[in-house]
């Protein structure tokens, strides 16, 4: 079998104004590099697609530097070592890294996690046992501090973060209400994941339905979308409510602020009157030392069937941009992963 000689990659060609378009990416083909001493060559098998990538396409101030024009798009990857001149990696090892939208990547080993060659369920490390699961776990437990009997609301409830947030909250004895897009997702969230209710945000009377599903108000709103879900949550917040914020996907494509009135003073006054805590977090920046503890606990829950998850695996490197556009529109159903190549 002749070895593949070339590697494809998507680079950022231009910055989007509003919704990203195909023209914002450029597909390039380059020669596969060869590792020097101390280096290894990684072959991407799975690429994680996540909403935060939209932020990296813009040069507006954010929590991480933007992808530069002409640079490979970023992203978490599960790869196998193709060849190695690094003492800690041997061909065939699974490696968790951050190589982005490309088929092959050279590395000096820094920042990689070597998972050995016997990995049973690799994709889980990009979802329920990876960044999204870790985000759900720390944001809910450390900032949200759920207590039995409290009411939790989380949007994107069938997604990689929301599904785990709600299930952990159920394990902690909360009344859990999800928000998702469409009947099928809502059915899954209630029947498969065990949420107490799930409201379809496409419903015309969405806010009324949410209020009805939260008769005791809302004690924890895990914020991963913003926009109209937060608008509907605001009047339902209880005294001492906690709002961990890990994302505001509803804002990512916005090109300016919405029309008035200016509700900033309203939010500020509400935080005071109801003694609310709102806190943003960036998972690996804030909680990296807790990862191993998370992995152990979450693996146990998954093995016991206490935390269920769903993956939406799209085949083919060339389909990355379309899958990413769909993610921003909520078209995926479960953690979105690209299978770039065979295991």
Q: Which residues contribute to the site for a copy of itself (CB under 8 A)?
A: 61-63, 223, 226-227, 230, 239, 245-248, 251, 254, 256-269, 271-282, 285-286
Instruction: For a copy of itself, give the closer residue by CB, 97 or 247.
Output: 247
The CB-of-246 to a copy of itself minimum distance in angstroms stands at 7
Instruction: For a copy of itself, give the closer residue by CB, 4 or 239.
Output: 239
Instruction: For a copy of itself, give the closer residue by CB, 119 or 234.
Output: 234
Partners of 200 in the β-ladder: 180
Instruction: For a copy of itself, give the closer residue by CB, 271 or 341.
Output: 271
Give buried/exposed letters for 17-48 (b at 16+ CB in 10 A, else e): eeebeeebbeeeeeebeebeeebbbbbbbbbb
The CB-of-280 to a copy of itself minimum distance in angstroms stands at 4
The CB-of-218 to a copy of itself minimum distance in angstroms stands at 15
The CB-of-231 to a copy of itself minimum distance in angstroms stands at 8
Distance CA 100, CA 48 (A): 9
Concatenate the DSSP letters of all residues of 245-282 into one string: ES--GGGTT--SPPPSS--HHHHHHHHHHTT-EEEE--
- Which DSSP helix (H) or strand (E) runs through 283? helix 283-287
Query: Nearest-5° angle of CA 229, CA 294, CA 244?
Result: 25
Distance CA 112, CA 107 (A): 9
Partners of 104 in the β-ladder: 43
The CB-of-236 to a copy of itself minimum distance in angstroms stands at 13
Residues 6+ apart with CB under 8 A from 275: 239, 240
Instruction: For a copy of itself, give the closer residue by CB, 60 or 204.
Output: 60
The CB-of-341 to a copy of itself minimum distance in angstroms stands at 34
- CB-CB contact of 271 with 240 (8 Å): no
Instruction: For a copy of itself, give the closer residue by CB, 64 or 212.
Output: 64
SS3 state at 35? coil
Instruction: For a copy of itself, give the closer residue by CB, 251 or 319.
Output: 251
Distance CA 340, CA 80 (A): 12
Residues 6+ apart with CB under 8 A from 40: 81, 82, 83, 84, 85, 86, 89, 106, 107, 109
The CB-of-277 to a copy of itself minimum distance in angstroms stands at 4
The CB-of-328 to a copy of itself minimum distance in angstroms stands at 16
Instruction: For a copy of itself, give the closer residue by CB, 4 or 254.
Output: 254
Closest CA to 49 of 150, 127, 119: 127
């Amino acid at each position: 079998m002749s070895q593949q000689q070339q590697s494809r990659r998507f680079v950022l060609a231009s910055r989007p104004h509003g919704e990203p378009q195909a023209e914002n990416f450029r597909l390039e083909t380059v020669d596969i590099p060869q590792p020097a001493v101390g280096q290894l060559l990684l072959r991407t098998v799975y690429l994680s697609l996540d909403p935060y990538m939209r932020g990296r396409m813009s040069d507006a101030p954010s929590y991480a530097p933007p992808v530069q024009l002409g640079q490979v798009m970023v992203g978490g990857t599960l790869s196998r070592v193709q060849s190695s001149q690094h003492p800690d990696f041997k061909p065939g090892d699974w490696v968790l890294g951050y190589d982005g939208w490309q088929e092959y990547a050279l590395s000096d080993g820094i920042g990689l996690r070597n998972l050995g060659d016997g990995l049973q369920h690799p994709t889980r490390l990009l979802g329920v046992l990876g960044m999204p699961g870790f985000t759900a776990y720390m944001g809910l437990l450390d900032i949200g501090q759920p207590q039995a009997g409290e009411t939790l609301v989380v949007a994107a409830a069938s997604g990689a973060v929301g599904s785990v947030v709600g299930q952990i909250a159920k394990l902690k004895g909360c009344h859990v209400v999800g928000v998702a897009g469409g009947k099928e997702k809502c059915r899954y969230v209630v029947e498969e994941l065990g949420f107490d209710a799930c409201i379809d945000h496409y419903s015309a009377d969405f806010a009324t339905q949410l209020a009805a599903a939260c008769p005791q108000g809302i004690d924890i709103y895990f914020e991963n979308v913003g926009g109209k879900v937060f608008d509907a949550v605001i009047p339902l917040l209880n005294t001492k409510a906690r709002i961990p914020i890990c994302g505001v996907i509803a804002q990512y494509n916005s090109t300016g602020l919405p029309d008035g009135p200016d509700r900033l003073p309203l939010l500020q006054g509400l935080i005071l009157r109801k003694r609310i805590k709102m806190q943003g977090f960036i998972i690996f920046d804030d909680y990296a030392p807790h990862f191993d503890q998370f992995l152990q606990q979450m693996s146990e829950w998954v093995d016991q069937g206490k935390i269920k998850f769903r993956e939406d695996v799209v085949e083919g490197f060339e389909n990355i941009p379309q899958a990413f556009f769909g993610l921003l529109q909520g078209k995926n159903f479960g953690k979105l992963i690209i299978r770039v190549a065979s295991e």
